[in-house]
Structure formats: structure tokens, C-alpha cells
Amino acid sequence: MTVQIVVIYQSLLGIYGDRGNAAVLRQRLQWRGIDVIVTVVEPGDRLPADAQVYLLGGGEDQAQVSAVSALRKDGNLFRALDRGAALFAVCAGYQICGTSFTIGDHDEVVQGLGLLDVETRRGPARAVGEILTQWTRPDGSVSLITGFENHGGFTRLGPQARPLATVERGIGNGDGTEGAQAGRVIGTYPHGPVLARNPDLADHVLRLGLGCELPPLTHPEIDELRRQRIEAVRR
């Protein structure tokens, strides 16, 4: 089996280094002896409809509008999700997955992809800085998520979405929660890249995309770096 990871529109939604999430997922699969290819797709090129994991990153206002238009025209992301793929979206990528978001000085409302029941509007102040949240895993245990947030939008969840995590430090959605999830679609604000900082979340994304459990990995050096980051945020 070869797993395919698709990085969507790096030229539009790649200004914060979120492509690094693909490198993390690839490495964690390779450590398990699983073959993997990473495909970067730009506007004008068709997205493969048969990949297991799709990634969206951060970008500016006009890039968001362009990405929504291109993804709607392409259509294959919707087909892939219907088939059982996973989508992990960060910051602007998270916002465009919702039903609507605003852009520009006049807060023009733009329709999103409708993959998450969330809407984003300009917040009272830009959220910039380290963020620490508590994520409840599918098995009920709690894991901390660390990252760096830099966004002006605050996101409100509708009844068909649930928060990814609750905020311990930082802003997140603006209401004490962070991110959103529904089925195999996850949206979140932190950069970092966030999956490099949070290996449990990375493995969760892989499990969603592959539809199976994965053997555990042991890397004490990664655990120690996480401990130091969490300790630094809590000071």
C-alpha cells in the first residue's frame, strides 16, 4: 500500500510553512514502514481524487478567495472526502472550509466550501502568539496541543461541528474553544507546523485518512521537546 498526501495550493496557502505538516505525516508513515508520496497541487492542476490525506495551509485574504473558487471548480476534494479521505486545514485553510468568512477592510462576506459548519468574522483584536489547548482524543484521553497562532478572524461553530480543543493559553476561536471537526475534516488555527509539535494529532490525522489503527512510535527526543514547549507556554 502506498499512501498519498496532497498539499493543496502551496502558492496560495503556504505563507506560514504549513507544508511542513506533510513532511511530518510522511516521516511518521515511513518510520512505520509504509510507503508514501507527497503531491503538491497548484491552481489549474487537478487534485487527485483518490488520495488519503489532504492538507490546507495559511494565506492572505485574496488567496483564500482564489482557493475557494479553484477548489469548487475542480471538485475533486469533495469527491475524495465523500470517498473517505481526511482533510487537515490550518488557519486560512480552516476558515475557507467553513460556510463563510470575511475579507478586507470592509469585512466582505465570502462563501466558503461548506465542509465545516463554522463561520468566521473579524475579531476585536488580532490573535498573535503561542497557543496551548487541551484536545480530547477519540478514546477520551486528553492531549495538549501547542502551536503559534496569527489570525484576525474569530470563528463561531454551528451545531454540525464540534470544537477540536479547549484553550488553556491563547485565543483560538475566540470563545474558549479552538478549531473544529466534523467527520474526517479538521480545522485548526495553530502553525508550527502544528503536526511537528503534536505527534499524537499527526497520527490522528493519519488514522482518519487510512481508516485503521497504526502501531505506536517511541521517540523520547520528540517527547522531551514537547515537554519543554509546553513548560515554556505555561510560565
Active-site residue, from 91, 97, 151, 204: 91
Q: What share of the chain is helix, strand, coil (3-state, %, to 5)?
A: 30, 35, 35
14 residue type, one letter: G
**Whole-angstrom distance, CA of residue 193 vs CA of residue 198:** 9
Beta-bridged to residue 154, according to DSSP, are: 121
**Whole-angstrom distance, CA of residue 223 vs CA of residue 235:** 19
Q: Which three cell numbers stand for residue 24?
A: 511530518
Cβ-contact 100, 114 below 8 angstroms = no
Identify which of 67, 137, 54 has the alpha carbon closest to the alpha carbon of residue 95: 67
Mark whether 212 is an active-site residue.
Answer: no
21 residue type, one letter: N
Neighbours of 218 (CB within 10 A): 7
Active-site residue, from 97, 106, 151, 191: 191
Mark whether 91 is an active-site residue.
Answer: yes
Q: Which residues are catalytic?
A: 91, 191
